[in-house]
Amino acid sequence: MNIIFSEHAIFEINRRKIKKENIENLVKYPPQKLDGKNNRIIIQGKYLDLTFKDVVKNNSNQPT
């Protein structure tokens, strides 16, 4: 799976001093997947005390 980080995501990763590999693992192996609108999947998980949520296009498997 190819993960594309937005400018905002990169800013927050740097600000919070989070390793990208930890985020990548959370996105690749999310503890929770939910059906979203328009053929999308919502993935959620926790890292330390932070909750992460992202939306993935169902047909491309790529976070948006």
pLDDT of 14 reads 92
Provide the residue-wise pLDDT of the chain in tens; the chain has 64 residues. 677 888 988 898 899 888 888 888 887 888 888 888 887 778 777 766 666 666 666 655 555 4
The confidence score (pLDDT) of residue 13 equals: 87
For residue 12 the two structure tokens come to: 């927050």
Q: What is the pTM of this model?
A: 0.56
Query: From residue 1, how far is each of 14, 15, 16, 50 by CA, in Å?
Result: 22, 25, 24, 23
**With 0-12 CB in 10 A as exposed, 13-18 as middle and 19+ as buried, what is 43?**
buried
